[in-house]
Amino acid sequence: MAKLRTHYDNLKVARNAPDIVIKAAHKALLQLHHPDKAQDKAAAERITRILNDAREVLLDPAKRKQHDHWIKEQERKHKQQGPEGSHADQTAPKKHGPKEPPVSEELVGHYRLLGNGLAQDTQSRLLWCRFALGQRWQTGQVEGEAALYAWQAAQEAVALFNKQGGYAGHTDWRLPSVNELKTLINPQEGHKSYINAYAFPNNPRWLWTSSPYAGYGGGAWLVNFIEGLAINDNPNLPCAVRLVRD
């Protein structure tokens, strides 16, 4: 298992650190990585978002308790698997064939980001692709342009995607419902797009949902990440697709 990355690690504080220490660590690191002082402003802005997310979680008693519970669960799972080189590993049946590379993890806000291009929402438990259909995840980045589909064609594209093997060992990817896709709207963002740009880089402006409009005139729901809202519109509009699974 890759090293577990927590909000405590991001702020370089102990897990029992009091609020005053957390505030001081956040202030010091924020000054150190301030975008105005950095040569790589994009990297500095990314680090700033990580630091702000860590401060927000650790200074909120409910969120901190949830984060601590998540840490214990991850450590429990790792302990059950056993450390590499243990007696359990030595006596276990040997498997032939290439080993899958370990998947790194990073917690940003309420997203558990995986190095294979997936992001799990620790609140809703939904698993998202960090790239849209047409894009690809490579060396920790989203590359390429998102493909655009009419609403019906989008659903057919998802079915074909699963039929051709899906992604990360899963073939049950689907279009999110309008309420599910709305959970990706982040009101604190908005300078370019209302979404966590570190968790979901190069995010398309408009994304289809699986939800048809039940009112007069028909249509289908999409989420506009430029304005941060869900709207009902013509199902023939060209929009992108972000995949999700339960």
CA–centroid distance for 211 within its chain: 22
- How far is Cα 34 from Cα 45, in angstroms, rounded to an integer? 8
pTM above 0.75, yes or no: no
How does pLDDT run along the chain (246 residues), one tens digit per residue? Answer: 456 778 888 888 888 888 888 888 888 888 887 777 777 777 777 788 888 888 888 998 888 888 888 888 888 877 776 554 444 444 444 444 334 445 578 888 889 998 889 999 998 999 999 999 999 988 888 889 999 999 999 999 999 999 999 999 999 999 999 999 999 988 776 556 788 888 898 899 999 999 998 776 678 999 999 888 999 999 998 999 999 998
H/E element, 19? helix 19-32
Which residue segments constitute the domains of the chain, with CATH numbers given? 1-80+104-109 (1.10.287.110), 130-246 (3.10.100)
CA distance 124 to 44: 29
